Structure 1
Amino acid sequence: MRLTGISGTKAGPLLRTSITVRKAGDEHEQVPGFCEIDLVLHCGPTLKGEFARTLTVTDVHTGWTENIALKNGAHRWVLEAMPIIEARLPFRLTGIDSDNGGEFINEALIGWAGERDLFFTRSRPYHSNDNAHVEQKNGDVVRRHAFHYRYDTPTELRLLNELYALVRVRLNLFTATTKAIGYRVNRNGKNVRVYDQPRTPYQRVIDSGVLTAEKATELARMFDAVNPADLTRDIIAIQTRLIHLAAAKTAAISAGTSRAKPGEARTHLSRAS
């Protein structure tokens, strides 16, 4: 079977009822700043042991996306990563929306958000469409660039963050995407999505009018200085190193998992998403 991602979300029930629920279909944000956040596991075929995670943060209005690799799933790493992400965003962070995992639903992160007067909302359990913007980036950005291998060493963690430093530039400055802006009725009477014209997150941020003069100048200089072809070659070089480090290891773990007892195998497969 082809290796797929595994969900490791464990609910944080004690604080969950105190956080506003945000559902799919709620009105879209009209300015940058409100972001969806999620964790992607780099566990390979099993959740056993310690392994890296990727924190993905996606702005709902512009699609601007930041990623940072974390040592493991302890909420302390999420708490340390969020100020770094906040500093990288070209606009002010105004709110965050997460799933119900304990790495997000905890007093430390809620306190951090409260100190900055950020909106903090959560999705409904088992409704991934509530976090559709970041869930899409988990596949299009994280799995596309970092694959499904198991990363559990300091070297692999460092390479992941070097990779994301390059990916963020190509994704946000040079990768155009469309955005759903409503529905229309087709000739068969069915409601279908309507999308706007393709634009990069950088263009959407510029069009929003929220950038300071200093930040606009900084992004323009970055855009002019980057050669997309060189950027892609550097990304491929890091990906090649990650494959060299993790592919055989992941295959060996996968082979061992497939030889597990039938009940154990079913347990692992049931967690696949």
Structure 2
Amino acid sequence: MDIWLPKLIEHGELDTTRLTEHTHTQLLAVSGATIDRLLKPTREGMRLAGMSGTKAGPLLRTSITVRRAGDEHEQVPGFCEIDLVLHCGPTLKGEFCRTLTVTDVYTGWTESLALKNGAHRWVLEAMPVIEQRLPFPLTGIDSDNGGEFINAALVAWADERDLYFTRSRPYHSNDNAHVEQKNGDVVRRHAFHYRYDTATELRLLNELYGLVRIRLNMFTATTKAIGYRSNQNGKNVRVYDVPRTPFQRVIDSGVLAEEQVTQLQAQFDAVNPADLTRGIVAIQARLIQLAAAKTTALSAGVSRAFPGEARGHLSRAS
């Protein structure tokens, strides 16, 4: 809030007659739990469910190191978890878009790129694009066991760049907890659960992610678990640091050259987050217009073919 309020005031986005000193103080003091409680009715009304299409990739699987949720986390930026999110709607039949999500474990910096389908060639083409967008050097990747990642081409690409390449344990999503969280908070929150399977929808998804990446990495603060403590009942509970944006965490890490820091700071100073939000909402409206009706029709077809299977899968069509 202490990032957004000054920015919105600077760009004249707020009604100054309503933003009294008292309201300003309340906004700076409001807790995340209170915000979630106030927004819960709106969020619940828009909630949709998704599907998973991960299939094990036996090729090279035994030669790639397993990384577990309890393993020690990196203390510098560069090691990223990667995953694919399906935009299939209520059925896995046919060809549909995917989103490749890449999240840096240390800073939370996240990049997303929409792909035509799940063929590993698209992942191979997307990784250099994402690597170029990262403000720090990529040092390693961690994936699930899907064939779109566990294949000779991607392993060779990682070897050429001397990148660490690890994988999670099968059926242990917590091993990829950082990127799994972003699948919901970034991809599903902004692109929803509709079916996207056309070139136009693919283009719009990437236009959407172009705006989302700036708002997410520059203006969206998160907390990181930094240890444990014992509460009054003797139970170990997590301890979290103060909220920081990925942009702030990257700057604080000290891995960037002075020129890179200046460029990132200039980008932050030039952005109006309200403009970003308006652009995001406009693209979302277009995606809903294109995909909602066909997704609902597909859901109805699945319900008739498999009674009870699709019940509750799509709770809202728009």
TM-score, normalising length: structure 2: 0.82
Match of 2:213 among 165, 168, 174: 168
- Which moved further from structure 2: 207-216 or 192-201? 207-216
Checking the alignment, whether the CA contact within 8 Å between 2:109 and 2:217 is kept in structure 1 is: yes
Question: What are the equivalent positions in structure 2 for 1:1-273 lying under 5 Å apart?
Answer: 3-262=48-307, 266=309
CA distance in 1 between partners of 2:205 and 2:75 (Å): 32
Identity of aligned residues (%): 83
Unpaired segments of 5 or more residues in structure 2? 1-46
CA distance in 2 between partners of 1:203 and 1:232 (Å): 20
Which amino acid is the alignment partner of residue 228 of structure 1? P
Which amino acid is the alignment partner of residue 222 of structure 2? T
Runs of 4 or more off by more than 3 Å in structure 1? none
Q: Give the number of the structure whose alpha-carbon radius of gyration is greater.
A: 2
Task: Specify the SS of the correspondent of 1:14.
Answer: coil
Which amino acid is the alignment partner of residue 227 of structure 1? N
Checking the alignment, whether the CA contact within 8 Å between 1:35 and 1:93 is kept in structure 2 is: yes
Checking the alignment, whether the CA contact within 8 Å between 2:80 and 2:104 is kept in structure 1 is: yes
Which amino acid is the alignment partner of residue 63 of structure 2? S
Over aligned residue pairs, what C-alpha RMSD do you find?
Answer: 1.5
CA distance in 2 between partners of 1:54 and 1:23 (Å): 24
Task: Specify the SS of the correspondent of 1:37.
Answer: strand
Deviation, 1:3, is: 4.0
Task: Specify the SS of the correspondent of 1:254.
Answer: helix
Task: Specify the SS of the correspondent of 2:59.
Answer: helix
CA distance in 1 between partners of 2:225 and 2:129 (Å): 29
| Deviations 1:157-182, CA, capped at 9 Å, x for gaps | 00000000000000000000101111
Checking the alignment, whether the CA contact within 8 Å between 1:3 and 1:45 is kept in structure 2 is: no
CA distance in 2 between partners of 1:183 and 1:15 (Å): 37
Task: Specify the SS of the correspondent of 1:54.
Answer: strand
